[in-house]
Amino acid sequence: MAVQIAVCGPGECSPREERWARQVGRLLAERGAVVLCGGYGGVMAAAAAGARAAGGTVVGLLSGADRQGACPDLTVVVPTGLGQARNAVLVNSADAVIVVGGSWGTLSELAHAMRRGTPVVALGGWRVIDAAGGPVPGVRHAATPAEAVESAWPAA
């Protein structure tokens, strides 16, 4: 079975985040991964577009119960109807999670992944510090889409 990697990020994002997400999607697809995402706009749509352009398989797990608002580049659409609980399902489906940019919804996905022990690689976005102000360890940070994909890829 193919490697499955989720690309998570805000539905509204900066041009740089959109470019990053598209590149991440493309690189994942070129390497043979199934790309998973939340299936709506912003980072999700860009990751889907990048993967689709490279001939990849893209699965969008929507929070809604129908396809309304789904981005156009999905191979398979799963309208979970679960609301934000779908974030946990998305993470459960991924061998690794690449986070592009920051939002509360994105942070919930990062947190679910860390809770589960799924590798998380962040390109920009928010960071978590403990009560003493030190970084909470665990999330891998990448500077480029290529570095993010390399870091997220499961060891053979």
Task: Tell me if 44 contacts a second copy by CB under 8 A.
Answer: no
Q: Rounded to the nearest whole angstrom, what is the least distance from the CB of residue 27 to a second copy in the complex?
A: 19
Spatial strand order of the sheet with 120-123 comes to 76-79, 58-62, 34-37, 4-8, 96-100, 120-123, 140-142
Q: Given the rule CB under 8 A, which of 39-47, 48-56, 83-91, 145-153 is the region that contacts a second copy?
A: 83-91
In whole angstroms, the minimum distance from the beta carbon of 1 to a second copy comes to 6
- 3 makes contact with a second copy (CB under 8 A): no
Residue 48 binds to a second copy (criterion: CB under 8 A):
no
Region of residue 58 (phi > 0: left; psi between -120 and 50: alpha; otherwise: beta): beta
Phi and psi, residue 87, nearest 5°:
-60, -35
Q: State how far the alpha carbon of 150 is from the alpha carbons of 5, 21, 124, in Å.
A: 12, 14, 16
Site membership for a second copy, residue 76 (CB under 8 A): yes
Neighbours of 147 (CB within 10 A): 14
Task: Name the one range near a second copy by CB under 8 A: 23-31, 38-46, 80-88, 147-155.
Answer: 80-88
- Count other Cβ atoms within 10 Å, centred on residue 33: 25
Among 38, 102, 119, 145, binds a second copy (CB under 8 A): 102
Contacting range for a second copy; rule: CB under 8 A; set: 19-27, 44-52, 102-110, 146-154: 102-110
Per CB under 8 A, the list member of 13, 114, 121, 148 interacting with a second copy is: 114
Q: Can you tell me the distance from the alpha carbon of 12 to that of 155, in angstroms, rounded to the nearest whole number? A: 32
Contacts with a second copy by CB under 8 A lie at 1-2, 4, 34, 57, 59, 61, 65-67, 74-89, 91-93, 102-105, 107-108, 111-112, 114-116, 124-131, 136, 138
